[in-house]
Chains A and B, each alone.
Chain A
Amino acid sequence: MPVITLTVDGELVSARHGQSLLEVLRDLGADLPTLCQCPGLSVQGGCRLCLVEISGTNKLLPACTTEAAEGMAVTTGSERLQEYRRMVVELLLAERNHTCAVCVSNGNCELQALAANLGVDHVRFSYQYPVMSMDLSHERFGLDHNRCVLCLRCQRVCDEVEGAHTWDVMARGGMSRVITDMRRPWGESSTCTGCGKCVQICPTGALFDKGMSVSEMEKERGFLERILAGRSRHQSKGQGHGRSRKGNGDE
């Protein structure tokens, strides 16, 4: 596999041809915040937390969907990038009703941890307080739209790993919702296998095991790596971090 050379934060580094910038940066041990990205799933490019500066373009590009190229000069941690990352997290917190103090995932939440790590100690935007429902029709799991960040990890893990494709997303912008089976109640889904991968992969308290109270929902993050370790590459659409979100579509 051909090796390419690029510059990351002033240092010359080498990478394999075809790697995404995020993969290169992770290999270097860089601490780049991500929310929608999840090793083992296809890339989404949705959360914009891994935005980087690349010389020669004024656009900030997500490291997860950008392929590393020969001679590229990348900046990962400028004050401008940090400010945009803080804004992304603040907008996520303002968009729905994330009340950490009364959340099942309080203390075990990726959004909460991101906010603290990025220095978000208050939100400068007006909270939207949208009226959001919950779906508690499933026997074992619950869905709380108030806490969903639309990372679509649930959708991808269900489609790409479980192969059920129960989850999808409806509507646009602030009206977007994750849905099960063409917006049927989750408990009535004919495709859901009840495997719970979506619950474990969800970064917040949007998907949870029923019966959990405040701070009790601890998710098991390692399951995906274990499952995928036992599969060959062609068995999983997402593995290998394909550039295109949908893969080839015919796998």
Chain B
Amino acid sequence: MDAVGREMAMSKKIRLATAWLAGCSGCHMSLLDLHEELIGLFDAVELVFSPLADVKEFPAEVDITLVEGAVANLDNLELAEIIRSNSRLVISFGDCAVTGNVTSLRNQIPVEDLLSAVYREGAASLPGSGDAEGIVPKLLPRVLPLHQVVKVDAYLPGCPPSPQRISAAINALLAGELPKLPPDMRTFG
């Protein structure tokens, strides 16, 4: 490899993606709370997919994907599977991805009862005149944590994980290690 090639290889940025499944986006807000640290981060990574970037399709050959949110519907399920097959490392990012959290509070209620209570019996109606087929993604019978759907390589708990936790986890990942957070930085909730 010549000098220029070596330099190009050295400067190859880590391809980072973040995804938003069924969650409130609070984890992404916490990510933005890294503030000036983000500038340094983008020296080392290229953000190839994210709700914060306008990319329509999840790309191939992603190094690290942070996944916020639980798997609640067929769209989440499909994206989770694409993320897994296209990413070297998949990280459950925040309590909804890790445990199901608030998103899974609906798991005690059958889906049809839930839709009836929220849409059919309420003031609003289901999009598509009571039949959501093809318009909104079908809900899964139960909301699942990400690792019950695809293999997950590391977990970043917290609702949301604090910027300090996110920073510690990302720095470990950039150093080529799986994050191992100390006890006070790995609590649920």
Contacts and interface: CB of A to CB of B under 8 A. Distances in A.
A15 B110 CA distance: 56
B183 A116 contact: yes
A40 to B, nearest CB: 27
Interface stretch (B10-18, B39-47, B58-66, B147-155): B147-155
Interface string B29-43: 000000000000000
Nearest to A113: B187
Contacts of B157: 121-122
Interface in B93-125: 95, 98-102, 104-105, 107-108
B95 A100 contact: yes
B145 interface: yes
A115 B187 contact: yes
Interface string A83-118: 000000000010001011111001100001101110
Contacts of A117: 183
B189 A122 contact: no
A121 B155 contact: yes
A92 to B, nearest CB: 12
Interface residues of A, number: 24
A129 B142 contact: yes
B159 interface: yes
Contacts of B145: 122-123, 127
A107 B186 contact: no
A226 B9 CA distance: 66
B50 interface: no
B27 to A, nearest CB: 12
A122 B108 contact: no
B106 to A, nearest CB: 9
A1 interface: no
A102 B105 CA distance: 10
Nearest to B187: A116
Nearest to B96: A101
A78 interface: no
A119 B154 CA distance: 12
Contacts of A99: 99, 101-102, 104-105
B95 A127 contact: no
A100 B160 CA distance: 11
B184 interface: yes
B139 to A, nearest CB: 15
Contact of A100 (B104, B147, B188): B188
A58 interface: no
A100 B102 CA distance: 9
A57 interface: no
B104 A107 contact: no
Interface string B145-175: 1011000100101010000000000000000
B186 A121 contact: yes
A232 interface: no
B76 interface: no
A248 interface: no
B104 A129 contact: yes
Given A116-B183, A129-B104, A129-B108, A123 B99 contact: yes
B147 A122 contact: yes
Interface of B: 92, 95, 98-102, 104-105, 107-108, 142, 145, 147-148, 152, 155, 157, 159, 181, 183-184, 186-189
Given A113-B183, A115-B187, A130-B108, 4 more contacts: A102-B102, A112-B189, A117-B183, A122-B145
5 contacts: A97-B108, A103-B189, A121-B155, A121-B157, A123-B99
The list of the 5 closest CB pairs from A to B, nearest first, reads A100-B189, A101-B159, A121-B155, A100-B188, A129-B107
Interface of A: 93, 97, 99-103, 106-107, 112-113, 115-117, 119, 121-124, 126-127, 129-131
